[in-house]
Structure 1
């Protein structure tokens, strides 16, 4: 939200890829494994299914990494693989906006491609970000930061490291100078490079005022080309005019929208555009790590802008969730210092006026639909991947329970247990 990573991040991605292919460097660690044909049973007192439903005395059966069935009202105390007792079982949570490649380096400043970190340093730091979010109950993240995401995504899927399912845009489209036809070619190049989606900047950052930077024709070219190739588009848009332009261009998902008016919120609802606003985490994280970000080149004015944005963000979010038909998904913009604290944003959302069940759904089935993975994730239901999380407490009564994760399973593999 504050600044975009430069094109030099491509060099970092190549270095990380070298690390991935050189296991002798000690870049990886084993991932817990069970035989793919094993059967796992999980008992919990309460289940929130991620679609707005709740059940009690539940046993979930997992076979081959997928949910085979969900039995409710099971009061017998027969043997199960994992007995979660009074804890609450949920689908693995989904964050639609993170930046895996952002971390604080050994010198205590924000990592940059030319800061002297070795490939192993960078890889381990990014892998740690991924593991922190997995341990916090986030089994899917959409990382829209840079090319370094690709090797990490692939390494997680190959089970060389532990982490959430990663969907990535690779390098975002930031430069407003190419004409529309060239923008189309850039989209094709991203897809050829393996991008799951296309990220573009339709406006300046918050510190620059958020004015529109891409023309209506450029937006239409980028989002239209991505759609023709079966890819979603995620748009950084701060100002009302940029939100409106991206929505009219048929882009899939608007991120931030801090200065959107009720007119833009209604327009997104009418057009079926997904909306990922932020309420607190990204702003507060910069402020909580003020000293480190200041050493990294952030100006005093930047922190003033962030502090002033907090009440505006809460108000925009309140108006968004009360806009009929607007699909508001969970999206934190987690950067260095925030990975693993993603659930703090859920707490802020509930305190800003969203019901706890609605907040959970926004980070489960609703987010899965927005990311195009509803056939795999976002709910506790037969046939979906066994992405399951348990928390200590009842998040419907006390939303901070979502910050107390005690059990994490992704694809049938348990990474954290009580």
Structure 2
């Protein structure tokens, strides 16, 4: 049985955007849940608790990254590598990326497109305790039109009936959600990021199947028409959202549709460029959209759109285990640090439908916690200075970091 722990003398960021609580304590029960928390002079610490003094450090909820690709090697051309290697090799690498991600402070992820259901197997293996990694939600194969963005690893569908069947197939396989490709994208050669692909009717058919089963939906959507198609079809979250107009933003606010910006993805493609070996077509498209991406992220944030952190980790040079860089970009482009942390904790949990389990410091929730050397509210880059990580009350040990760095 796990021991009761009391993490003391910390500044607590609760994940909901409220001001930090100084001189705080978090008590973790035997089930790995938060028993109580608050200022130390207000909380009764059980006499049998194991005291862990974190004087001068900051405590916050574990990060929730709502858009990763554990099957992708974050090299110059991930798609080329992924389609040429065996599923077994993909799975081995994915497990190592999951461990690196956990050790960066990310305790929950939503995997948004793998290969031949490797993502579902990894999710189950982590849940069963056979591999160490973040709590995973996985989408199975992406739903895309024939020849559409991501076709090489997706379920190609054309027409409403195929959209329904493709959706049902992913649900049958055990997908936690559906990812639907409403537009073209940067990494697939021959398609344009702004062009619509699956129609509103096709998207709606897939969304209906997911919602009937109590599952959520997300859309890769970069252009205005495709984003509108997806929203009108009832989508739950828009991934990337590069081109947004005022009507879209207003509708997203009214219907509480989430935006997952993934600012890191085009940043690294344009930053590294052709010199690093990234395909010419991807660099050209990224360079063409990156200013609009940043501008529309700012507009959405200022208008009050629900935003959840997602990194798109696994895209070129967008490394697994460097997920917190997305927070730095959010703050760089105008978001308040506490609000940025909220996107990476409470808002991510809300999007996944698990805010009663993770995403904030509150009694009864899992003790997914980060201890940070420094103050990420004063300097968001401090969020990289992780001292300790807890997942469901279990501290992740340094020797596990050594294993991750060796693979």
**Same-fold call, TM > 0.5?**
yes
Gapped regions of structure 1 (runs ≥ 5): 1-34
| 1:356-375, Cα deviation, whole Å (9 max, x unpaired) | 00001111111101111111
Tell me, what secondary structure is at the counterpart of 1:370? helix
Match of 1:189 in 2: 169
Match of 1:329 in 2: 308
Contact 1:134/1:164, CA 8 A, preserved across alignment: yes
Compute the displacement of 1:109 (Å).
9.3
Q: How many residues align structurally?
A: 375
Per mean C-alpha deviation after superposition, the further-off stretch among 60-69 and 72-81 is 72-81
Match of 2:149 in 1: none
Compute the displacement of 1:110 (Å).
5.4
Change (3 A) 1:317 1:398: same
Matched, 1:171 2:141: yes
Contact 2:111/2:137, CA 8 A, preserved across alignment: yes
Per mean C-alpha deviation after superposition, the further-off stretch among 133-142 and 203-212 is 203-212
Change (3 A) 1:306 1:131: same
Compute the displacement of 1:243 (Å).
0.8
Q: CA RMSD in A?
A: 2.5
Contact 2:269/2:282, CA 8 A, preserved across alignment: no
Match of 1:138 in 2: 106
Matched, 1:199 2:179: yes
Match of 2:35 in 1: 68
CA distance in 1, matches of 2:193, 2:367: 43
Change (3 A) 1:44 1:307: farther
Map 1:357-372 onto structure 2 (within 5 A): 357-372=338-353
Contact 2:6/2:51, CA 8 A, preserved across alignment: yes
Contact 2:74/2:313, CA 8 A, preserved across alignment: no
Match of 2:324 in 1: 343
Change (3 A) 1:404 1:416: farther
Contact 1:109/1:293, CA 8 A, preserved across alignment: no
Match of 2:206 in 1: 222
CA distance in 2, matches of 1:260, 1:93: 27
Change (3 A) 1:108 1:190: closer
CA distance in 1, matches of 2:367, 2:333: 31
Map 1:124-135 onto structure 2 (within 5 A): 124-135=92-103
Tell me, what secondary structure is at the counterpart of 1:359? helix
Change (3 A) 1:195 1:44: farther
Compute the displacement of 1:189 (Å).
1.6
Contact 2:274/2:280, CA 8 A, preserved across alignment: no
Match of 2:217 in 1: 233
Match of 1:276 in 2: 260
Match of 1:286 in 2: 269
Tell me, what secondary structure is at the counterpart of 1:70? strand
Tell me, what secondary structure is at the counterpart of 1:322? helix
Compute the displacement of 1:310 (Å).
2.7
| 1:2-41, Cα deviation, whole Å (9 max, x unpaired) | xxxxxxxxxxxxxxxxxxxxxxxxxxxxxxxxx3x42122
Compute the displacement of 1:118 (Å).
7.6
CA distance in 2, matches of 1:140, 1:108: 23
Match of 2:193 in 1: 209
Contact 2:73/2:82, CA 8 A, preserved across alignment: no
Change (3 A) 1:365 1:209: closer
| 1:222-267, Cα deviation, whole Å (9 max, x unpaired) | 1112111111001011101111111111111111110111221111
CA distance in 2, matches of 1:340, 1:273: 28
CA distance in 1, matches of 2:389, 2:309: 19
Match of 1:57 in 2: 23
Compute the displacement of 1:86 (Å).
0.7
Gapped regions of structure 2 (runs ≥ 5): 147-156, 402-407
CA distance in 2, matches of 1:329, 1:204: 22
Change (3 A) 1:301 1:185: closer
CA distance in 2, matches of 1:190, 1:93: 27
CA distance in 2, matches of 1:193, 1:101: 17
Compute the displacement of 1:332 (Å).
1.3
